[in-house]
A and B are shown apart, each in its own frame.
Chain A
Amino acid sequence: MLALTILFILSACALLSFREGTFNLGIAIFGLGTSLVVLLAYNLAALIFRHVDRITLVICFFLASVGLVMLARLNIDTAVRQLIWLAGGTVVLYITIVVIKRANDFGRLNYLMMAGAFGLIAFAYLFAHTVGGARNWVTIAGLSFQPSEIAKVLFIIVSAYFFAEKRALLGNIVYACFAGACVMVLVLSNDLGAALLFAGTFLIMFFAGTGRTLLTMAGLGVAGGGAVASYYMFPHVRTRVEIWENPWRYHRTQGYQIVQGLMAIAAGGAFGAGLGLGYPSAVPVNTSDFIFAVICEEFGIIFGIIIILLYLVFIIRGMIIAMNAGSRFDALLVFGATCMLSLQSFIIIGGVIKLIPLTGITLPFISAGGSSMVACLTLVGIIEGVNVKNGERDEVEIRKAGGEVI
Chain B
Amino acid sequence: MSGLYEATALALRYWFLIVAVIIVLGVTSISIKEYRDKRMVLDVAQSSIGYLAIISGPDDVMGENVPLLDQNTIGRSRSADIIFADRSVDRAHSQIYLSEDGTVMINKLGRGDVTVNGIELDGSVPIKNRDIVCFGNVVAKVFLKEG
Give the interface of A toward B (CB within 8 A).
1, 4-5, 7-8, 11-12, 15, 18-19, 21, 55, 58-59, 62, 271-272, 274-277, 298-300, 302-303, 306-307, 309-310, 313, 316-317, 320, 394, 397-398, 400-404
A394-B42, A402-B52, A402-B65 as given contacts; A274 in contact with B10, CB under 8 Å: yes
Q: How far is the CB of A53 from chain B (nearest CB, A)?
A: 9
CA distance A271 to B9 in the complex (A): 12
CA distance A21 to B67 in the complex (A): 66
B24 to A309, Cβ gap below 8 A?
yes
Other-chain contact of A5, B6, B23, B38, B52 (Cβ < 8 Å): B23
A274 to B42, Cβ gap below 8 A?
no
Q: Which residue on chain A has the smallest CB distance to residue B67? A: A401
Other-chain contact of A402, B22, B26, B31, B53 (Cβ < 8 Å): B53
B8 to A15, Cβ gap below 8 A?
yes
CA distance A277 to B13 in the complex (A): 11
Chain B residues 1 to 42 lying within 8 A of chain A, measured CB to CB, are 1-2, 5-6, 8-10, 12-17, 19-24, 26-28, 30-31, 34-35, 38, 41-42
The interface residues of chain B lying within 8 Å CB-to-CB of A8 are 16, 19-20
Give the interface of B toward A (CB within 8 A).
1-2, 5-6, 8-10, 12-17, 19-24, 26-28, 30-31, 34-35, 38, 41-42, 44-46, 48, 50-53, 65-67, 143, 145
The interface residues of chain A lying within 8 Å CB-to-CB of B26 are 1, 4
- What are the 6 closest A-B residue pairs judged by CB atoms, nearest first? A402-B51, A402-B65, A274-B9, A401-B48, A401-B45, A306-B20
B12 to A397, Cβ gap below 8 A?
no
The interface residues of chain A lying within 8 Å CB-to-CB of B143 are 402
Other-chain contact of B31, A274, A298, A306, A316 (Cβ < 8 Å): A316
A310-B27, A402-B51, A402-B53 as given contacts; A275 in contact with B45, CB under 8 Å: no
B41 to A403, Cβ gap below 8 A?
yes
Q: Decide if the interface of chain B is mainly helix, strand, loop or mixed.
A: helix
CA distance A19 to B5 in the complex (A): 7
**12 sampled A-B residue pairs with Cβ under 8 A:** A18-B1, A18-B5, A274-B6, A275-B9, A277-B6, A277-B9, A299-B13, A299-B17, A299-B20, A300-B13, A303-B17, A313-B28
Other-chain contact of B23, A1, A271, A302, A397 (Cβ < 8 Å): A1
From A21, A299, A310, A398, name the one whose CB has the most chain B CB atoms within 10 angstroms. Answer: A398
The interface residues of chain B lying within 8 Å CB-to-CB of A398 are 41-42, 45
Q: How far is the CB of A296 from chain B (nearest CB, A)?
A: 12
CA distance A402 to B2 in the complex (A): 64
From A4, A271, A274, A404, name the one whose CB has the most chain B CB atoms within 10 angstroms. Answer: A274
Q: How far is the CB of B32 from chain A (nearest CB, A)?
A: 10
The interface residues of chain B lying within 8 Å CB-to-CB of A4 are 19, 22-23, 26
The interface residues of chain B lying within 8 Å CB-to-CB of A299 are 13, 16-17, 20
Further pairs besides A5-B23, A313-B31: 6, Cβ < 8 Å: A11-B12, A62-B23, A271-B17, A272-B13, A394-B45, A401-B44
